[in-house]
Structures are given as C-alpha cells and as structure tokens.
Amino acid sequence: MSLTSIMSNASSGLQAAQTQLKTISDNVANVDTAGYIRKVANQQSLVTAGQGAGVTITQIQNATDKFLQAATLSAGADSGKSSIQSSILDQAQSLFGDPSDTGSYFSTLDNVFSAFSSLSANNSSAGRAQALSQVSTFLNQSSALSSSLGQLSTQADQRLTSDVGTVNQLLSQIDGLNTEISRATATGGDATGAQNQQSQLIDQLSSLMDVKVSSTATGGVIVRASDGTALAGDGSGPAKLSYDGSGSIGQLSITNGAGVTQPLGGRLTSGELKGLIDLRNTDLPQVQNQLAELTSGVADTLNQISNSYSAVPPPTTMTGANTGLDAASAVSGFTGKTTIAEVDSSNSTLTHRIDTDFDAGSISVDGGAATSFTPSTFISTLNSAMGTGGSASFSNGALSLTSATGTGLAIQDNATTPASNGGRGFSAYFGLNNIVSSTGLTNYNTGLSSTDASGFPAGQTIQFQLSDANGVPMQKVTVTTPAGTTMASLVGALNASPNGVGLYGAFALDVNGQLAFTPNAGSGVSLSVAADNTANTATGASLSQLFGIGDAQRGSRASSFSVNSGMLANPGKLPMAKLNLSATPGTAVLASDDTTGADALGQGGTAIHSFSAAGGLAAATTGLSDYAANISASIARKSANADAASTQATAVATEATSRRSSSEGVNLDSELVNLTTYQQSYNASARMIQAAKDMFDTLINMVN
C-alpha cells in the first residue's frame, strides 16, 4: 500500500470520526429537548479498484421509528378528542349539579311539587305565592341552563375556529420544511434539524386531527388525513381548512392545493377537531334537547292540571295561548263535550252554562235548544251563546273569552266524554287557564289530521340539512309547499323523492297532530332546518315553529317559559277549585276552601306525560320525576364515559410516547460508548497519519 493510500485512508477515517463526534455532540446537547430525535451518521467503506480506500459518511439521518411514530400520532389524536370532550361534558354536567344536592336543578323540580303539596294542606295567599315562586325558580333555572349550554356550544365554535387556524399554520410550516429538507438532501447536507422540526410540528398536528405520514424520496413527508386526502407535502401546496358555525350544524371544510373545496367532517375520525365538532353538532344539542323536553313536559303538565280547575272568584277574561292555527283548524280536531260556566263573582253560584258537543257540532245555553256549528262558524256561534256582555273572539291563533259584568268564567270537560284535541282538553288546548306561559309555540300536538287544511300556501320553501349518524352534513334538500291545501298534500311534498326527504326517511302526522321525521331504519340520519321561509296564513308561524321540526327549534324551548304574569301579581288567581256543575241551583259551584287543584298539582311529579324522543332518549310515556331522573342519568353517563375514554386515551398516548422516546430519544450511556469509540477512531486515524508522515520523512532523509 502506498503512502498516498495510507494518508487517504487515514484522512477519511479522521473526517468520518469528526462527523460522528459532532453528531454525538448534537445528541447530547439535546438530551432534554422534548420531541428531539437522535441523529445517526451512517458510515460506509470506500472501495477503489477492489481495494479499501477508507470510509465515508453517506448520510446523517434521524433514528425515526415509523411504526412507533404512527402509534404515537394515533394515540395523540385519540387523546386530543377524548380530552376536549371530557372537559366540556364535565362542564355541562356541573351546570345541573349533583341530584342529591338541595341546590341542584333537579331539586328545584322536586321543590315545585312539594310547594303545591304543602299548599293543598295549608291554603293561604303566602302559600300560593311560594308555590308560584318555586315554579318560577325552576323555569328560570331551565332558561339559565339552556343559555349556559348555548355558551358551551359557542365555546366549541370558538375553539374550532382557533384550532382550524392552528392546523392551517402547521400544514403550511410542514409543507415549507419539505423544500428545505429536499435542498439539504440534494446537496449532501444535514437535513436532520429541519426533519426534527417537521416531526414536532406533525406531533402537534396529530393532537388536533388524525393524520397519516409517509416519507418522500428526498427526505420530506406527505401528510394525509385518515382517508388519504393530501394535507401537505404532495407538491400541490398545503391544504387549508375552514369552519362555518353559523348554522345549526357546524361544518368543517378543506380546500386542497388545487383550490377544490370539500366537506372535511367525514374524513375526521379522531383529534380535538373531531371531539369539538361532535360536541357542537351532537353531544351538546342532545343535552339541550333533553332539557327542553323536560321543561316543556313540566309546563304542559302543570297547565293541563290548572286548566281542569278554577280560581275563586273565577276570572272575568280568559285569553289563551297562540295555537299557531286559524280558528277553524284549531276547532276541527275536537271531539267530546265541554262546558263553559258563567259564575257569579260574589257568591260563586251558576248564572249560565254553555254546553258544547263537538261530536254533534252543537252548542246549547242553559239546557235549551242546541245551535249547530261548523269549525268555521264555531267562534261566532259561541260568541252569540255568551249572551249580553259576554264574548268570544279568536285572533293571532289565540282564543279569548269574556263574561258578563259581575260574573267570571270556569270551564270543565264532560266526565264521560271529555272534549279532546291533540291529547288535551278544551281549556288546556287553548291555554285559557295556564300557570306557565311561553313566548313561542312549545306544544307540537296541533290536533291536525291529514284532511285538515295545512295553512301554508303554495310556493313557500323550507330547506333541510340531512346529516349522517356522526352528525356530518350529507345533503341539503329544499321542499316547496304544494298547490294542494291539505296536510296530506304537504306531507306528500315533504316525503317526495328526490325533491323531498324521501331518500333518507319520512315525515308522518300522528294521532295528536304532531309532525315528525323518522329516518330509514339503521341509517342514523338526522334532520335539521337550514332555512325556513314558510308562514302560516293565519298566524305567520313557520313549519318548523308550528311542528317543532329540528333539534334547534325544539332545543330553544327551555328558555321560553315563565309563570303567568297575572298569577304572579295576584296569587289568588291560581286555579285550585273544581267546578261542581251538579250543585243544587242557588248553591256555590266553586268553593273558596277547595284545594283539590293544589293537591293535583302536588301530584304532578308522578303524572304520566308523553315525551317525544330527545337527545338520544327514546320517546317515553312516564312521570315527570322519572323522566328527570333519566335525563340526570343520561348526562352523568355521557360525562363518565368521556372521562373514562380520556383517562384511557391519555394512558395509551403516554405509553406510546414513552416507547417512541426510548427508541428515538437520546440515551446518554449509549452516546458515551459511541463517543469513546469515535474518539479512539479519531486517535487511530491521527496516529496513522503521523506514522505515514514519519515514514515519508525517513524516505526523504534516505534520498538526501
């Protein structure tokens, strides 16, 4: 071997050792740097003409374990999703309080019935005021809870917007680093610094959304969504995410480097974005709908009971709630019999009675000859029957009755064949003696049948948003009200295919006149209202308002209730006495000491009510207290499941990160061994160079 070969071999060994020592130095310096991946300098023998020609460093690269990286990214995404869900659902549960705590929301409901039970045993003005105050407290808490749940949804919206901005920034940085890495790789430089930075950015990204990473030939990466959609590194530029929370369903979209925009929601399976969009579109609306269904059920139960009784003295004017319908439509569904009694305000004796038989379509006064009516003429016929000084009118969907001077009004349905429409009696249907008032339509049992007029003229539109089982928007469908004027034709238009919802499910009108959408079996499809431009001719109520279509409409009810202002101002107007139409002529038909109404209200907690499906709870016919317990259990279960999922996901993420760190991180013991090895290698190469120099000097001296 020539001296030149010896020098070349020794010089290459010296340079290789220097590079290895520098690599070790970088590793040791970053031993405490979170996410740092240790460098490895790959050394290779050089061979020229079949003979060894030294060594060279072919590449400096990170000791990345692709399998552990994939496991860590997946675990990080699961942890991000479950952590945010656990946090916000814990907040939602805390709003309701511990059911066993006297200050919890559910305890305020118990207090309502307890107050009425106490009133039945101790009839006093103070007791009435206390009972109404308890009702008001419950309704106010319902409204406050609804508002707080809405704020949690707003919080989710804000977090989604912020996370989308962070994702876009990360994708831009990851994509930009690919250029730097490719440049360093092409020139034989050290790209590990940029690769380390890129890896840390990908780790941050994975907590926000689930991603898959693959390497490029030039040392960079291609980042894709779980379904393979390119997000960064594919050469077309970084994708850009956007979020629209303006509708009832929040929507995530993605625009790729070519400028094509598509929905993103279905591409997400994990990460904080997935957790937030599930909270925003599914979990929080479900809780809000359960709250609204309970509050509406309490209000309806109290009103149905109160409309079966009367204050003493009875009111001179009774103004009902807005039914959302014209008079003929409201009356057409009634069956059975009811009696409107005019009672002397001073001694509670009966002055007149007006008996209405809806099956026969007739009205009689004081047992006299019956006068026939139709749904269209009912109000005018009743108005005539009210006599001098009394009146009946119908305006903006509400019935109003006024008695003659010196008298008041009390209403009682027939005991054998009670008047009924939409599952409610005459007074309850029109809300003539309600304890609880509402600013909107909250009871969707309209009493309409398929042959009744719909009240919605042709050419109006309502747009539905159909979403899949995960709450991801699928399709928007716009339905135009048909030329036919009956409910049957309206339901037919809603269920048309493809210009209606027929591909996804069907609307149906039940026996109580409630219109509800049922998805195709097993599809999990849900329906919401994206836009509603319909208006009932008589009252202006839209389709979604009249029938409670969509979770947003139903969920908003909880904040619309309040105690009847007249009763709050004068608790004596609280209906507590039962009208006794069998009383001997000249004797009182209402007794001031009668507390049977208070007793019935006190038993309201166990009163059976038909609840619609709401927020994951199936439709049920059960007591108010039992339904409240079901809601409490449902919310607690959601929160507990989220906490358990978060704990498990965090443990998995911690373990995955630990294993990855053990494989990719810096081990000082190993680096010390390598340091010693390459120091000795450096010294050996240096001694070889010195030996070659000494040999060269000796040869020169021999020649001289």
Listed range (157-161, 232-236, 313-317) with the worst mean pLDDT: 232-236
Q: Quick one: pLDDT at residue 519?
A: 94
Q: Tell me which H or E stretch contains 89.
A: helix 66-96
E-assigned strand segments in 472-615: 473-480, 505-509, 515-519, 526-532, 561-563, 608-611
Beta carbons within 8 Å of 438's beta carbon, 6+ residues apart: 299, 321, 557, 560, 561, 562
Q: Where are the domains of the chain?
A: 3-63+665-703, 461-547
> What would the pLDDT profile of 456-474 be if each residue is shown by its tens digit?
999 999 999 998 887 788 8
> What would the pLDDT profile of 198-236 be if each residue is shown by its tens digit?
888 988 999 999 999 888 888 888 999 988 889 998 888
Rounded Cα distance between 185 and 218, Å, is 6
User: In which band, very low, low, confident or very high, does the pLDDT at 185 lie, cut at 50, 70 and 90?
Assistant: confident
Peptide bond into 285 cis (omega under 30): no
Burial class (CB in 10 A: 0-12, 13-18, 19+), 432: buried
DSSP type of residue 573: G
Rounded Cα distance between 549 and 632, Å, is 25
Phi, psi of 575 (to 5 degrees): -75, 115
User: Helix, strand or coil for residue 30?
Assistant: coil
Phi, psi of 666 (to 5 degrees): -90, 125
> What would the pLDDT profile of 264-313 be if each residue is shown by its tens digit?
877 888 999 999 999 999 999 999 999 999 999 999 999 999 999 999 99
Pair 255, 242: CB distance under 8 Å: yes
Q: Quick one: pLDDT at residue 31?
A: 74
Rounded Cα distance between 87 and 97, Å, is 16
Peptide bond into 498 cis (omega under 30): yes
Mean pLDDT of the chain: 89
> What would the pLDDT profile of 627-655 be if each residue is shown by its tens digit?
999 999 999 999 999 999 999 988 888 88
> What would the pLDDT profile of 104-148 be if each residue is shown by its tens digit?
999 999 999 999 999 988 888 999 999 999 999 999 999 999 999
